[in-house]
Amino acid sequence: MPSTLRQLALAAVIGAPEQHDSARVVDAVRRPRVLVRELLAGLVVGLALIPEAISFSIVAGVSPSVGLYSSVVMAIVISIVGGRRAMISAATGAIALVVAPVAREHGLQYLLATVMLAGLLQVALGAIGFAKLMRFIPRSVMVGFVNALAILIFMAQLPHLIGVPWAVYPLVALGVAVIVLFPRFTRAVPAPLIAVVVITVITVAAGVHIPTVGDEGSLPTGLPVFGLPQVPLTFDTLRIIGPFALAAALVGLVESLMTAKLVDDITETGSNKSRESVGQGIAQVASGLFGGMGGCGMIGQTMINVRGSGARTRLSTFSAGVFLLILMVVLHDLVGEIPMAALVAVMVMVCVGTFDWHSIRPATLRRMPVGETVVMVVTVVVVVATNDLSIGVVVGVVAAMIVFARRVARFATVERTVDDAGEVRYRVDGELFFASSNDLTHRFDYAEDPSPVVIDLSGSHVWDASTVAALDAIATRYARHGTEVRIEGMNAASEHFHGRLTGTLAGED
């Protein structure tokens, strides 16, 4: 009976509505080593979240407590309602940049209302299947996203490496060495946690004066308080917060779903993207209700959790939120003494592990189509230039669409043959859409071909109205020369589409 109660309690914490989640709950209960791994992974993430949340609060123009409370609430809530196990959601720079104008021009209460509206929009988008759009993001964009992310994470560490005491550099190097070498001896304890402990002990024992977490901002000493934003429920309020809420909802979903997809690839497991979308919205609303600034999936902390510490269950995410709350409320004096050099070492190794080094090897670049490489580079450049992952993904997808359209357009071929009876037949092969059918009208000899002319589309598929218009224009040009045109061989879908639109589009060519 006690074992059953313990499993049920842990299931409630982990949020295990699916059969494979339940199996992981039982596994964590029966194997203390797994339970310890997940808890320690959460502790490492909780430590790493503190300076990040404080920094993002400053970006948003609010008190550090707003970002820290947001991280606590989002991590705990998403661990229960999210669709991707072991993924970390908390306050992020992308959301901070979006909502900063609201806080600056209208104050904290309007920011909280913006966050809650963004959460409701995310719930709605998740319910209508927004996550399904992720299937249209090609691999080259995903690689560019990952590489750009690694670059951004490294760039975020530069302020902690420039203009600092010389002792910072050997301590960062020591932290990197511990993270690299410690797993060779044991993986029972996450190497990043050992690095943080070792560097902290050295600096405190030796009295080394270097920047610490406490220098980034004061930590709150109380619990977050539940309450509704104090804003008037009017159309003017909606007009103020609406555009920012929509932007935050879209940016948050794009980054969260991209992070979830990356974790899927790393862990070789699937996730429920629609549930993750709805879960992000619920976590946003909860964040606003407890005075938080909102957030989304955090790729850096997720990589610490999944790749650095080996976490695989919801318990790691839940414990990250709980440990963050304990650290900032109960142990804030001790946490304030942690050197930033320790956390920089952790993040530098996250960069190294996140970057897809295989994608830039000369052998890979030689084999990869030029268009794919261009899309990857465009994605990286746009993300780094704008410091916005969502903009880079959108631009990368557009670039991939252009490359794909140009490539497919070349595959549409037209071959002219004349049989023994003198009948002219044009065989069209390939996918027919706006890019490939635009020059289709120039591939026929209207003046010389005798009537009737047969256009064989058995090797093609008609995809859009542009192709139907092109076929109508071909028939019109032949009609001017008194030549009859017969279109044959269309598959059922193409024939239905063509039959519905032919003769109803443009006027005579």
Range of lowest pLDDT (166-180, 232-246, 249-263)? 249-263
CA–CA separation, 339 and 358 (whole Å):
33
CA–CA separation, 185 and 183 (whole Å):
5
DSSP letter at 339 equals B
Backbone angles phi, psi at 120, to 5 degrees: -65, -40
| Burial of 448 per CB tally in 10 Å (0-12, 13-18, 19+) | exposed
Percentage above 90 pLDDT, the chain: 39
Q: DSSP letters of 224-278?
A: ----------SHHHHHHHHHHHHHHHHHHHHHHHHHHHHHHHHHT----HHHHHH
Long-range contacts of 413-421, Cβ-Cβ distance < 8 Å, separation of 24 or more: 414/440, 414/443, 414/444, 416/444, 416/445
Tens of pLDDT, residue by residue over 61-95, are 788 889 999 999 999 999 999 999 999 999 987 78
Q: Are 373 and 139 in contact (CB under 8 A)?
A: no
CA–CA separation, 214 and 331 (whole Å):
12
The pLDDT assigned to 172 comes to: 94
In one letter, which amino acid is 41? Answer: A
List residues bridging with 413 in a β-sheet: 429
Look at 219 and 256; give whichever has higher pLDDT.
Answer: 256
The pLDDT assigned to 194 comes to: 86
CA–CA separation, 365 and 377 (whole Å):
12
Closest CA to 81 of 36, 136, 18: 18
Q: DSSP letters of 107-129?
A: -HHHHHHHHHHHHHHHHHHHHTT
Query: Per-residue pLDDT averaged across 200-226, rounded?
Result: 87
Most confident region among 270-279, 381-390, 443-452 by mean pLDDT? 270-279
In this model, does residue 251 exceed pLDDT 70?
yes
Name residue, tokens 């990250």.
320
Q: Confidence class of residue 7 from pLDDT cuts 50, 70 and 90?
A: very low
Length of the chain: 509
The pLDDT assigned to 282 comes to: 97
DSSP letter at 72 equals H
Closest CA to 139 of 376, 425, 355, 426: 376
Q: Are 41 and 310 in contact (CB under 8 A)?
A: yes
In this model, does residue 374 exceed pLDDT 90?
yes
Closest CA to 13 of 2, 3, 24: 24
The pLDDT assigned to 21 comes to: 58
How far apart are the two ends of the chain, measured CA to CA in Å? Answer: 82
Tens of pLDDT, residue by residue over 460-479, are 999 889 889 989 999 989 99
Q: Give me the helix-helix angle, 139-157 and 340-354, nearest 10°.
A: 160
User: 343 in helix, strand or coil?
Assistant: helix
Q: Are 471 and 414 in contact (CB under 8 A)?
A: no
User: 313 in helix, strand or coil?
Assistant: coil
CA–CA separation, 236 and 293 (whole Å):
21
The pLDDT assigned to 23 comes to: 56
Q: How far is CA 25 from CA 16, 28, 54, 87, 353, in A?
A: 8, 5, 33, 16, 28
CA–CA separation, 445 and 438 (whole Å):
16
Name residue, tokens 């209700």.
289
Cα torsion through 145, 151, 154, 156, rounded to 10? -80
- Residue 295, token pair as written in the block: 């957030």
Does an H or E element contain 184, and which?
Answer: none
- Residue 132, token pair as written in the block: 């399904």
Query: Per-residue pLDDT averaged across 213-238, rounded?
Result: 88
List residues bridging with 296 in a β-sheet: 90
The pLDDT assigned to 5 comes to: 38
pTM score? 0.70
The answer for residues whose C-beta is within 8 angstroms of residue 173's C-beta and 6 or more apart is 345
Range of lowest pLDDT (367-381, 389-403, 460-474)? 389-403
Q: Are 102 and 310 in contact (CB under 8 A)?
A: no
In one letter, which amino acid is 373? Answer: T
Look at 184 and 388; give whichever has higher pLDDT.
Answer: 184
In one letter, which amino acid is 8? Answer: L
